[in-house]
């Protein structure tokens, strides 16, 4: 009862998932991603085990089509589930069970997949995919959210709106973006607002955190203030 996009950013290698639905807290179980590995979304009558199992397989180098096949073939309930994934090489795959509620379906693109069920019609998936493909000029996070906004304008979830989420991993073991709107009459608008707050407030903090390349991060308060001042002047 959801539609989502999973994608690999060809410019940066980042992996992301954006998802929206008329259901509470879609970000709790549906979106999964990992730096250098891939991303997936499990939805419809969600199987929460698809997430950790799928990411483990992707981390082992199993191609996205094989991951989707293995998970769904091992699940007698896959007839009422949706799953789509992208791997480290940009390969994509999707499963829409024949028991999913209309309109349901998916569309694969170059390094991305869009899938949904209980939607207003196929135009929701089509417009989401078309917009994502056309807006490579946007930063990856905004590109994902803008694609969902286009799908919503085309009808979105036919029951209405309630929650949305954005999850993006770039180079670290922790996400660069992990934003959730759990219960809101305009979840995508709120998600976009939170993204703007993130840009204004959190990105500076993200710059001083420990990373794989610098496991201690920036902890000297004088240097932290230098980062804050530079970002405050719009130089970051």
Packing angle, helices 187-197 and 140-153, rounded to 10: 160
For the ranges 129-133, 176-180, 216-220, 223-227, which has the lowest average pLDDT? 223-227
| DSSP string computed for 214-226 | STT----HHHHHH
Q: pLDDT-based confidence at 57, cuts 50/70/90?
A: very high
| pLDDT confidence band for 232 (50 / 70 / 90) | confident
Based on its alpha-carbon atoms, the radius of gyration of the chain, rounded to whole angstroms, reads: 18
pLDDT band at 206 (very low <50, low <70, confident <90, very high): confident
What pLDDT shows up at residue 235?
40
Q: Are 26 and 159 in contact (CB under 8 A)?
A: no
Copy the structure tokens of residue 158: 């036919």
Place of tokens 């998802």: 19
Among 1, 3, 40, 5, which Cα is nearest to 141's? 5
Whether residue 7 has pLDDT greater than 60? yes
- Give the span between the Cα atoms of 38 and 14, in whole angstroms: 8
Give the CATH fold of the 2-187 domain.
Answer: 3.60.20
Tell me: pLDDT of 95 over 70. Answer: yes
Indicate if the pLDDT at residue 204 is higher than 90.
no
Three-class DSSP category at 15: strand
pLDDT at 229: 84
pLDDT of 194 over the 90 cut: yes
**Distance (Å) of CA 7 to CA 47, 58, 64, 146:** 20, 14, 12, 13
Query: Which tens digit of pLDDT belongs to each residue from 11-25?
Result: 999 999 999 999 999
Q: What is the mean pLDDT of the chain?
A: 95
Q: What is the pLDDT of residue 128?
A: 98
Structure tokens at 174: 């922790």
**Predicted pLDDT of residue 234:** 42
Domain boundaries, the chain: 2-187
Which DSSP symbol is given to 49?
Answer: T
Answer whether 207's CB lies under 8 Å from 218's CB: yes
- List the structure tokens of 45: 């009558």
- Which carries the bigger pLDDT value, residue 117 or residue 235? 117
Q: What are 223's two structure tokens?
A: 């240097």
Share of the chain above pLDDT 90, in %: 89
Counting residues of the chain whose pLDDT is more than 70, the rounded percentage is 98
pLDDT recorded at residue 1: 64
Q: What is the mean pLDDT of residues 165-185?
A: 97
Per the CB < 8 A criterion, the answer to whether 198 and 179 are in contact is yes
CB-based contacts of 65, cutoff 8 Å, min separation 6: 91, 93
Q: In what order do the strands lie in the sheet with 81-87?
A: 31-34, 38-44, 81-87, 92-96
How many CB atoms sit inside 10 A of residue 63's CB?
18
Chain centre distance of CA 177? 9
């Amino acid at each position: 009862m959801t539609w989502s996009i999973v994608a690999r950013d060809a410019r940066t290698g980042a992996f992301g998932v954006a998802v929206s639905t008329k259901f509470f807290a879609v970000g709790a179980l549906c979106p999964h991603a990992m730096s250098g590995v891939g991303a997936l979304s499990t939805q419809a009558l969600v199987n929460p085990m698809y997430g950790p199992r799928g990411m483990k397989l992707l981390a082992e180098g199993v191609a996205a089509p094989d991951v989707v096949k293995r998970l769904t073939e091992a699940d007698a309930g896959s007839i009422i589930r949706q799953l789509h994934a992208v791997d480290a090489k940009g390969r994509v795959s999707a499963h829409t069970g024949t028991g999913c509620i209309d309109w349901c379906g998916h569309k694969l693109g170059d390094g991305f997949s869009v899938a949904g069920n209980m939607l207003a019609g196929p135009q929701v998936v089509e417009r989401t995919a078309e917009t994502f493909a056309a807006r490579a000029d946007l930063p990856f996070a905004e590109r994902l959210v803008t694609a969902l906004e286009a799908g919503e304008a085309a009808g979105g979830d036919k029951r209405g709106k309630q929650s949305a989420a954005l999850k993006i991993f770039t180079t670290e073991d922790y996400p660069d973006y992990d934003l959730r709107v759990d219960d809101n009459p305009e979840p995508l608008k709120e998600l976009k607002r939170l993204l703007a707050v993130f840009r204004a407030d959190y990105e500076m903090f993200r710059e001083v955190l420990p990373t794989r390349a610098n496991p201690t991060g920036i902890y000297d308060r004088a240097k932290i203030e230098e980062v804050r001042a530079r970002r405050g002047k719009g130089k970051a």
